[in-house]
């Protein structure tokens, strides 16, 4: 039979020492304190990853990728940190059999030769200008500003329910001869068809 | 000192994924990463006007458990007691029993309770835990959406879409009580869809009685299955199925055998921006042979339809219906019989629920379901819920509902022995057990690192199952117990640092059941269930650098009254080591300190739950 008097006491002592040990371990490994910037960092990294992933779910016309070894170019305007992190990851990496080049750009003229152009929030006032400068070029314009689809963006990031989601304008992509895969449309929060 | 700072920076990395770590995720997984919350809990949880706890895939992995019932211990709003090596008593808000009947369990939308006793044979229900996305545990009634039997709770086991389980995964583990392994492969189809196939097998050892003799309850079970998904939320189609068989030892006269197969198809389509339909159909066959007692062959066909729409800006309307047909065939024994041996059972339901935005911060949900069954006709299952979003991260909610537990074959058709004179006879007039429920809850995330939920409930029960003396001798099943159940469920978590999370849960329950004044029963109310007054748990989840994880849980269950089961406190721990990106090793110990204890049943004949250790390897390719 279990000794009812001493067993619980012993068990409690063991539990208490286990918890003390745990607290001691936690004290020895003081992980980086949570700062307000962390959420923004994660949001930026998720967006950077999406940009890289879009390469696999968009079909560019042949003239945009003339040679089998023509690299994919992702141009970033207005977010140097995102460009740097994406470059660090994608540099030397191949997707769909092509290497990936990440460029920080400033001049709209430089953007016209990119496959993806990411326009950060701060540069949204220049969006119309950038759309015009790349007009008729098969450039997938990705933004992160409310209402950007109406200004000619094809994919716009929105933070919804605490998560990075995106909305798509199929017509804007069509006009640039970009084919968006059905998988991409499925994951999108919103798909716009038939609006300017 | 240098080593320490290295560990510190690793710890920061683990909770702080770089693009390199994120690139392995699918588009769906990427769009599911919470970028604004430390807790990584599902966001809509904050808005649900119900006592809902979500067990995440990460919770399951870090607990080191190797079976579905053990994973359910992670939910503070559930009572989980191990009866033997192959049997569990699982309930919410009381009435816990190895044949408990007030909890509804669904696996990927498939209802897994048996119409034999309106409960779950936990030995037949399993999933590959590595492919589970989350388990939603709702305590309290869910009858308006889920129907009769969702009286005191609903458990939704949800597996990941096939697109999120691509590639090969191998898991193998062994310990003093369990040995097993699982394999899964996921791939892409030329049609654009994704699929996975899996298989798993385990063997669990006998448990012992307190006097050291064997319970003869060792068992083994093997399971294979698949899932295929095409499309997504706008337009999607899913097919999935499983087949399993198992052998369970029993003292005499021979091994119990279980087997089953199920196949489910689900189709969803978005009709307009705020309107979508879902149709689901499945077939589920289960077989159970229990030598000396009975054998059962059960075939179920189930069809469900639901439509969500937004007829006006402030209304979210959900309506639908379902039909379920079961052929139940029982081979009776001399000791026990279901009469008639074969019975066809039918359930049909229609429901409507409207979520009305009364004000930007105030939502009223009104719903009702009408469900028919072959025994008592139509049951009305209404509910009203009010949710007030007092501030961005504070939700106060209340609800009033009526739920019913429709009769099962056990209530109406069970006789023992098989021929008269019966010692026990099914109740020809047995009616549905009814519960009226009042709930008040508060959920808050006052700062990003802290979140908690508190729910108080008051259940009024009418016409619970009782055993009355039969006119000709013996006992007959009737509805002559009434009562109330009051209690509080609370849980919370605190992300102390990026690498260390503490969680706690508490359950307080006071049940008062009494025979009606016209009852002549001498059996009392003990057969309803055996519940603790309190239950609590504390968990600590700690990342030790990038490669190691240490998880510890202390859980306490107070004494059960009848039969008297002493209170126990158990300590579980898991040490995980991520050897490389593809390989993870873990060592899990349960009931590490203190003597072996029993969790349920008569102490003289119950199984002891002893210390267990389990070493597991998980390899992803």
Report whether pLDDT(B402) > 80. yes
Q: What is the mean pLDDT of chain B?
A: 89
Please answer whether residues A86 and A95 qualify as being in contact, where contact means their C-beta atoms are separated by less than 8 angstroms: no
pLDDT tier for residue B38 given thresholds of 50, 70 and 90: very low
- Of residues B377 and B21, more confidence is placed in B377
Report the range out of A37-41, B42-46, B238-242 with the highest average pLDDT.
B238-242
CB-hemisphere CA count at 13 Å for B596?
Answer: 16
pLDDT at A4: 39
Q: Which residues of B touch A7 (CB under 8 A)?
A: 594-595
Report whether pLDDT(B286) > 80. yes
pLDDT at A27: 46
Choose the closest CB to B499 out of A31, A39, A50: A31
pLDDT tier for residue B34 given thresholds of 50, 70 and 90: low
Residue of A nearest to B270 (CA): A186
pLDDT at B36: 44
pLDDT at A93: 75
C-alpha span between B467 and B198 (Å, rounded): 45
C-alpha span between B484 and B474 (Å, rounded): 28
Please answer whether residues A132 and A153 qualify as being in contact, where contact means their C-beta atoms are separated by less than 8 angstroms: no
CB-CB under 8 Å, B19 with A45: yes
Q: What's the whole-number mean pLDDT along residues B496-523?
A: 92
pLDDT at A75: 94
Choose the closest CB to A2 out of B33, B552, B595: B595
Report whether pLDDT(A9) > 60. no
pLDDT at B572: 96
C-alpha span between B120 and B383 (Å, rounded): 25
pLDDT tier for residue B10 given thresholds of 50, 70 and 90: very low
CB-CB under 8 Å, B36 with A49: no
Q: Touching check for A13 and chain B: CB below 8 Å?
A: no
Q: Touching check for A186 and chain B: CB below 8 Å?
A: yes
The burial class, CB within 10 Å (0-12 / 13-18 / 19+), for B377 is exposed
pLDDT at A8: 53
C-alpha span between B529 and B514 (Å, rounded): 13
CB-CB under 8 Å, A86 with B19: yes
Closest alpha carbon to B202 in B126, B285, B134, B131? B126
pLDDT at B96: 93
Helix ranges (H only) for A34-115 are 37-57, 80-90, 108-111
Report whether pLDDT(B166) > 50. yes
**Percent above pLDDT 70 for chain A:** 77
Looking at A19-148, which runs of residues are DSSP E strands? 58-59, 72-77, 94-95, 98-104, 116-119, 140-143
Let me know how long chain B is: 621
C-alpha span between B223 and B225 (Å, rounded): 7
C-alpha span between B55 and B132 (Å, rounded): 10
pLDDT at B616: 97
* DSSP state letters, B260-300: EEEEEEEEEEEEETTEEEEEEEEEEEEEEEETTTEEEEEEE
CB-CB under 8 Å, A7 with B497: no
C-alpha span between B608 and B596 (Å, rounded): 6
Q: Which residues of A touch B27 (CB under 8 A)?
A: 50, 53, 57, 183-184, 187
Distances (CA, A) of B234 to A164, A171, B272: 18, 18, 9
Task: Give me B52's structure tokens.
Answer: 């809902």
Q: How many angstroms from the chain centroid is the CA of residue A139? A: 17
CB-CB under 8 Å, B22 with A164: no
Q: What is the mean pLDDT of chain A?
A: 79
Measured in angstroms, the CA of A42 and the nearest CA of chain B are apart by 6
pLDDT at A128: 87
Q: Which residues of A touch B36 (CB under 8 A)?
A: 39, 43, 159, 162
Number of Cβ pairs closer than 8 Å across A and B?
150
CA torsion angle for B90, B156, B161, B122 (degrees, to 10)?
A: 30
C-alpha span between B136 and B150 (Å, rounded): 14
Report whether pLDDT(B376) > 50. yes
Least confident of B81-85, B164-168, B243-247, B612-616: B164-168
Q: Which residues of A touch B16 (CB under 8 A)?
A: 32, 38, 41-42
**Percent above pLDDT 90 for chain B:** 66
Q: Touching check for A25 and chain B: CB below 8 Å?
A: yes
Please answer whether residues B578 and B547 qualify as being in contact, where contact means their C-beta atoms are separated by less than 8 angstroms: yes
pLDDT at B142: 87
pLDDT at A17: 58
pLDDT at B238: 94
Measured in angstroms, the CA of B188 and the nearest CA of chain A are apart by 12
CB-CB under 8 Å, B17 with A41: no
Q: How many angstroms from the chain centroid is the CA of residue B490? A: 18
C-alpha span between B49 and A147 (Å, rounded): 32
User: Mutating which of B9, B12, B16, B22 best tests the A interface, going by the most A Cβ atoms within 10 A?
Assistant: B22
pLDDT at B569: 95
* DSSP state letters, B394-432: EEEEEEEEEEEE---HHHHTEEESSSSSPSEE--TT---
Q: What's the whole-number mean pLDDT along residues B396-420?
A: 93
Q: Would you tell me which residues 74-133 of chain A have a C-beta closer than 8 angstroms to some C-beta of chain B?
A: 85-86, 88-90
Q: What's the whole-number mean pLDDT along residues B228-243?
A: 87
Least confident of B224-238, B369-383, B391-405: B224-238
Q: Which residues of B touch A90 (CB under 8 A)?
A: 19
- Of residues A95 and B64, more confidence is placed in B64
pLDDT tier for residue B161 given thresholds of 50, 70 and 90: confident
Tell me the pLDDT tens digit for each residue of A104-127.
Answer: 988 888 888 899 999 998 888 888
The model carries a pTM of 0.76
User: Mutating which of B10, B14, B20, B35 best tests the A interface, going by the most A Cβ atoms within 10 A?
Assistant: B35
C-alpha span between A157 and B246 (Å, rounded): 49
Tell me the pLDDT tens digit for each residue of B433-449.
Answer: 999 999 999 998 888 78
Q: What's the whole-number mean pLDDT along residues B253-271?
A: 92
Measured in angstroms, the CA of B33 and the nearest CA of chain A are apart by 6
Those residues with Cβ within 8 angstroms of residue A104's Cβ, 6 or more apart along the chain or in another chain: A75, A76, A77, A80, A83
pLDDT tier for residue A1 given thresholds of 50, 70 and 90: very low
Please answer whether residues A73 and A113 qualify as being in contact, where contact means their C-beta atoms are separated by less than 8 angstroms: yes
Measured in angstroms, the CA of A17 and the nearest CA of chain B are apart by 11
Choose the closest CB to A186 out of B20, B234, B495: B234
CB-hemisphere CA count at 13 Å for B374?
Answer: 15
Q: Please state the φ and ψ torsions of residue A185, each to the nearest 5 degrees.
A: -65, -35
Query: Which residue's structure tokens are 């090793």?
Result: B585
C-alpha span between B194 and B198 (Å, rounded): 14
pLDDT at A43: 85
Tell me the pLDDT tens digit for each residue of A15-48.
Answer: 555 555 555 544 444 333 333 345 577 788 899 9
CB-CB under 8 Å, B595 with A49: no
CB-CB under 8 Å, B37 with A183: no
Report whether pLDDT(A191) > 90. no
pLDDT at B253: 75
Measured in angstroms, the CA of A73 and the nearest CA of chain B are apart by 17
CB-CB under 8 Å, B22 with A49: yes
Q: Which residues of A touch B41 (CB under 8 A)?
A: none
Tell me the pLDDT tens digit for each residue of B459-508.
Answer: 999 999 999 999 888 899 999 999 999 999 999 999 888 789 999 999 99
C-alpha span between B579 and B485 (Å, rounded): 49
Ramachandran sector of residue A88 (left: φ over 0; alpha: ψ -120 to 50; beta: rest)? alpha
C-alpha span between A46 and B224 (Å, rounded): 35
Q: What's the whole-number mean pLDDT along residues B551-575?
A: 95
Report whether pLDDT(B41) > 70. no
pLDDT tier for residue B586 given thresholds of 50, 70 and 90: very high
pLDDT tier for residue A5 given thresholds of 50, 70 and 90: very low
Q: Touching check for A185 and chain B: CB below 8 Å?
A: yes
Measured in angstroms, the CA of A97 and the nearest CA of chain B are apart by 16
Q: Touching check for A7 and chain B: CB below 8 Å?
A: yes
Q: What's the whole-number mean pLDDT along residues B404-431?
A: 92
Report whether pLDDT(A84) > 60. yes
Residue of B nearest to A83 (CA): B19
Q: Which residues of A touch B28 (CB under 8 A)?
A: 187
pLDDT at A190: 82
pLDDT at A166: 92
CB-CB under 8 Å, A41 with B16: yes
Please answer whether residues B461 and B435 qualify as being in contact, where contact means their C-beta atoms are separated by less than 8 angstroms: yes
CB-CB under 8 Å, B34 with A31: no
Tell me the pLDDT tens digit for each residue of B292-344.
Answer: 889 999 999 999 999 988 888 889 899 999 999 999 999 999 888 999 999 99
Provide the β-strand partners of residue B276: B270, B308
């Amino acid at each position: 039979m279990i000794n009812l008097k001493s067993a619980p006491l012993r068990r409690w002592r063991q539990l208490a020492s286990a918890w003390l040990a745990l607290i001691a371990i936690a004290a020895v490994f003081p992980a980086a304190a949570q700062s307000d910037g962390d959420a923004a960092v994660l949001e930026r990294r998720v967006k950077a990853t999406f940009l890289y992933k879009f390469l696999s779910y968009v079909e560019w016309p042949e003239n945009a990728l003339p040679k089998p070894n023509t690299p994919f170019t992702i141009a970033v305007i207005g977010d140097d940190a995102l460009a740097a992190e994406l470059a660090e990851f994608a540099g030397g990496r191949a997707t769909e059999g092509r290497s990936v080049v990440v460029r920080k750009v400033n001049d709209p003229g430089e953007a016209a030769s990119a496959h993806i152009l990411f326009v950060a929030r701060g540069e949204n006032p220049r969006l119309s200008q950038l759309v015009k400068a790349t007009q008729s070029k098969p450039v997938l314009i990705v933004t992160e500003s409310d209402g950007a689809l109406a200004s000619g963006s094809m994919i716009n990031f929105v933070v919804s329910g605490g998560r990075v989601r995106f909305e798509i304008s199929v017509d804007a992509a069509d006009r640039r001869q970009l084919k968006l895969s059905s998988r991409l449309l499925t994951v999108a929060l919103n798909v716009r068809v038939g609006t300017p | 000192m240098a080593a320490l700072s290295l560990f510190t920076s690793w710890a920061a990395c683990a909770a702080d994924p770089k693009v390199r770590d994120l690139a392995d995720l699918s588009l769906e997984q990427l769009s599911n990463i919470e970028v604004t919350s430390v807790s990584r809990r599902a966001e809509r949880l904050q808005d649900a006007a119900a006592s809902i706890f979500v067990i995440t895939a990460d919770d399951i992995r870090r607990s080191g458990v190797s079976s579905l019932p053990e994973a359910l211990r992670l939910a503070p709003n559930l009572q989980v007691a191990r009866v033997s090596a192959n049997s569990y008593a699982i309930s919410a808000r009381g009435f816990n029993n190895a044949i408990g009947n007030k909890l509804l369990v669904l696996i990927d939308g498939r209802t897994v309770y048996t119409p034999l006793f309106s409960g779950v044979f936990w030995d037949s229900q399993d999933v590959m835990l590595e492919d589970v996305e989350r388990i939603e545990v709702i305590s309290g009634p869910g009858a308006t959406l889920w129907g009769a039997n969702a009286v005191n709770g609903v458990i939704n086991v949800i597996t990941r879409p096939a697109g999120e389980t691509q590639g090969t995964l191998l898991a193998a583990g062994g310990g003093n009580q369990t040995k097993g392994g699982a394999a899964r492969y996921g791939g892409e189809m030329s049609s654009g869809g994704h699929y996975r196939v899996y298989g798993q097998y385990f063997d669990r050892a006998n448990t012992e009685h307190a006097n050291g003799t064997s319970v003869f309850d060792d068992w083994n079970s093997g399971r294979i299955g698949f899932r295929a998904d095409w499309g997504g939320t706008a337009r999607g189609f899913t097919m999935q199925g499983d087949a399993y068989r198992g052998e369970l030892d029993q003292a005499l006269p021979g091994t119990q055998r279980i087997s089953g197969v199920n196949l489910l198809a689900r189709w969803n389509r978005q009709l307009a921006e705020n309107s979508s339909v879902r149709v689901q159909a499945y077939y589920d066959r289960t077989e159970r042979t229990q030598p000396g007692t009975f054998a059962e062959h059960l075939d179920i066909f189930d069809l469900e339809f639901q439509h969500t729409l937004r007829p006006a800006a402030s209304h979210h309307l959900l309506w639908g219906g379902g039909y379920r047909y079961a052929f139940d065939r029982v081979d009776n024994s001399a000791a026990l019989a279901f009469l008639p041996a074969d019975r066809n059972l039918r359930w049909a339901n229609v429901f409507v629920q409207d979520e009305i935005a009364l004000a930007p911060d105030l939502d009223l949900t009104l719903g009702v379901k009408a469900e028919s069954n072959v025994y008592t006709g139509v049951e009305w299952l209404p509910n009203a819920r009010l949710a007030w979003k007092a501030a961005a991260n504070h939700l106060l909610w209340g609800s009033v509902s009526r739920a019913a537990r429709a009769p099962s074959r056990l209530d109406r058709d069970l006789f023992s022995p098989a021929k008269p004179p019966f010692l026990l006879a099914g109740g020809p007039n047995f009616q549905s057990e009814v519960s009226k429920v009042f709930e008040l809850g508060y959920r808050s995330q006052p700062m990003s690192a802290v979140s908690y939920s508190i729910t108080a409930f008051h259940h009024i029960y009418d016409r619970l199952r009782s055993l009355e003396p039969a006119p000709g001798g013996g006992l007959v099943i009737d509805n002559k117990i009434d009562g109330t159940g009051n209690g509080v469920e609370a849980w919370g978590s605190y992300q102390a640092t990026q690498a260390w999370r503490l969680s706690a849960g508490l359950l307080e329950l006071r049940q008062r059941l009494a025979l009606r004044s016209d009852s002549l029963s001498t059996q009392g109310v003990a057969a309803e269930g055996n519940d603790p007054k309190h239950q609590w748990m504390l968990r600590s989840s700690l990342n030790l650098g990038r490669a190691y994880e240490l998880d510890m849980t202390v859980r306490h269950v107070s004494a059960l009254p009848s039969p008297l089961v002493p209170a126990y406190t158990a300590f579980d721990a898991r040490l995980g080591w991520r050897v490389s990106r593809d390989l993870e090793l873990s060592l899990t110990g349960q009931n590490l300190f203190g003597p072996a204890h029993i969790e349920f049943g008569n102490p003289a004949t119950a199984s002891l739950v002893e210390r267990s250790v389990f070493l597991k390897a998980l390899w992803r390719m």
